[in-house]
Chains A and B, each alone.
Chain A
Amino acid sequence: MRDSAVEKIAEFLDTIIQLSGLRLRFDILLKPSGIFVELSGEDSSLLLGKNGELLNALEYLTNKLYAPIVPEGKYISFDCMGFRNKRADELKMMARYVAQRVRYLGKSFTFEPMPPAERRIIHLELLKEPGVRTESVGEGSSRKVVVYPT
């Protein structure tokens, strides 16, 4: 059952990579927490530009098409060269810096629009910080985190 989802995902990615001319390879890993697609190859930088715009686009399309046939409704996560962890570290650092600034100036700060997973990292990181609270404002792809002093 799981294997057929993996096969379909592999077939889809093969088609996309072949027709788009992108020089990429992929591995699909099955873990208890979900399906992980690890991309590599000489066009990796194209995946990661603009905060991983293309990596996110491929992840979005793949989930839209195949998440419904993945058992237990697990998410299909895409990564390339450890980008997700690096980005998470960067977001946490930015969040802590912003918290300091908001406390010091007593003025709110609005982040750039970010996808839900990235907003979540900032919300969680700032739960630990005293003197600030966070909210998300806006709709769809323009939704962003705002940090307020408390």
Chain B
Amino acid sequence: MSEIRDLVEAISKALVDNPDQVEVKEIEGEVTTVLELRVAAADLGKVIGKQGRTARAIRTLLGASGMKFKKRFVLEILG
């Protein structure tokens, strides 16, 4: 269980209407860790936000967190 995966999951679950359908998969590379986020189709807009603002805010947080963990976190939102 990774903390960064839990972080993406916690924020996503708070944002969506169907938290039970939130799924985060972590694909860990040497420097880059990809976080694949899946939500219900109806919730896609909730995690992306107007003009992608919500997704950008989450990515900003992951960027800062990456400095602490010495990793690059990439968030991919899959429909």
In the complex, how many residue pairs between chain A and chain B have their CB atoms under 8 Å apart?
A: 67
**What residues of B have a CB within 8 angstroms of the CB of A121 in the complex?**
none
Contact of A64 among B54, B64, B65 (CB under 8 A): B54
CB-defined contacts of B54 to chain A, threshold 8 Å: 60-61, 64
| Among candidates A15, A21, A47, A65, residue contacting B68 with C-beta atoms closer than 8 Å | A21
User: Is there contact, CB below 8 Å, between B60 and A21?
Assistant: no
User: Across the interface, which residues of B come within 8 angstroms of A47, CB to CB?
Assistant: 64
Structural contact, B6 and A12, CB atoms closer than 8 A: no
Interface residue stretch chosen among A26-34, A50-58, A88-96, A98-106: A50-58
How many residues on A have C-beta within 8 angstroms of the other chain's C-beta atoms? 24
Residue contact B3 to A54, C-beta cutoff 8 Å: no
Within 8 A of A (CB), among B29-60: 49-51, 53-54, 56-58, 60
What residues on A are CB-neighbors of B51 within 8 Å?
139-141
- Nearest CB of A to B14, in Å: 5
Q: In the complex where A57-B57, A60-B53 touch, is A19 in contact with B6 (Cβ < 8 A)? A: yes
Chain A's closest residue to B59 (CB) is A57
Do the beta carbons of A20 and B49 come within 8 Å of each other?
Answer: no
Q: Does A135 contact B (CB under 8 A)?
A: no
Contact A54 B53 (CB under 8 A): no
A-chain residues with CB within 8 Å of residue B67 when the two chains form the complex: 46
Asked whether B53 lies within 8 Å of A16 as measured between CB atoms, the reply is no
Are A141's CB and B53's CB within 8 A? yes
Interface residues of B in 6-23 (CB under 8 A from A): 6-7, 10-11, 14-15
Write out the residue numbers on chain A whose beta carbons fall within 8 Å of the beta carbon of B65: 19-22
- A54 near B68: Cβ-Cβ < 8 Å: no
Per-position 1/0 for A136-147, Cβ under 8 A of B:
000111000000
List 30 interface pairs A-B (beta carbons < 8 Å), by A numbering.
A15-B7, A15-B10, A16-B61, A19-B10, A19-B65, A20-B3, A20-B4, A20-B61, A20-B64, A21-B3, A21-B65, A22-B64, A23-B68, A46-B64, A46-B67, A47-B64, A54-B60, A54-B61, A57-B56, A57-B57, A57-B58, A57-B60, A57-B61, A58-B57, A60-B57, A61-B11, A61-B61, A64-B54, A65-B14, A140-B53
